[in-house]
Amino acid sequence: MDARKTDRIQLILQALQEQKAIHLREMAALLEVSEMTLRRDLGRHPEQLRLLGGYITRTQDEPEPGSYKVSEQDARHVEEKRRIGKLAAAFIQPGDTVFFDCGTTIPFVVDFIPDDLEFTAVCNSLNVLLKLQHKPQCSIVLCGGTFHRKSQVFESHAESSILDGVRLTLAFMSAAGVSLDFGLTCFNFHEVEVKQKVLRQARHCLLLADHSKFDAVRTAHFGTLSDFHCVVSDKKIPPAYREAFAANGTQLVV
């Protein structure tokens, strides 16, 4: 067998040592091969690897219940996320400096940014970085550090100093839970510091959340609805939130 194919299989198995799944598109980008080439590689090793819903997993692995992973959340409410991404991308103007939060909705914003638009992107997550690298006129500032595989977030206390030197025009923020009583929450405490700093510094903060996030409360609290100038969601957003946004003067885009 071609040594390069063998090497690719070994690299995939290594990537899956500490996570249950990785998207085919992301793995192809990391290996610098086409998705079709990677599909052929996987087809030759059904005893080791399989492809389920666009995600590569080890054949012997079973889904792990009760845990959050970007790879699992990515396939949920795709149409809503895609539409939210399209609406949000329209806010970016030439020359803007934009923070792209972690999560599974934010990468859809990048999909709808014109390739000829010049802007600066600041991010701290792998799934967003993989999308941004395909925008030829985008300058990327990555907040690096320790990589958390399940959330695909880079964490470092040095991120605060990086953000101190950047002036953000826009911030596209995500949340795993949006509540009138308990505010904005996410699954992971290691996301909180950067989220809070961006909310303080960005000129305009936009919350991107589909209807499934509303009335949900997760573990780590990072903000309130009043921190946002605009909320981009879908048409299934609960009426109570529409009323709250109108009362606070928060723009709602659906």
Is pLDDT of 215 > 50?
Answer: yes
Give domain limits for the chain: 3-65, 73-253
Given a contact cutoff of 8 angstroms between Cβ atoms, the answer to whether 72 and 52 are in contact is: no
**Which carries the bigger pLDDT value, residue 17 or residue 29?**
29
Is pLDDT of 205 > 70?
Answer: yes
Predicted pLDDT at 179? 97
Phi, psi of 136 (to 5 degrees): -65, -25
59-76 pLDDT, tens digit per residue, is 876 544 444 455 455 455
- Fold classified for 73-253: Rossmann fold (3.40.50)
H/E stretch holding 8 reads helix 3-15
Task: Look over the chain and give the mean of its residue pLDDT values, rounded to a whole number.
Answer: 87
CATH 1.10.10.10 at 3-65, yes or no: yes
Q: How far apart are CA 199 and CA 222, in angstroms?
A: 9
Given a contact cutoff of 8 angstroms between Cβ atoms, the answer to whether 7 and 14 are in contact is: no
Given a contact cutoff of 8 angstroms between Cβ atoms, the answer to whether 187 and 219 are in contact is: yes
Provide the CB-side half-sphere exposure for 7 (13 A, CA): 7
Helix 35-43 × helix 24-31 angle, to 10°: 100
Q: How far apart are CA 24 and CA 42, in angstroms?
A: 10
**This model's pTM is above 0.75:** no
Predicted pLDDT at 245? 95
Average pLDDT over residues 5-18: 80
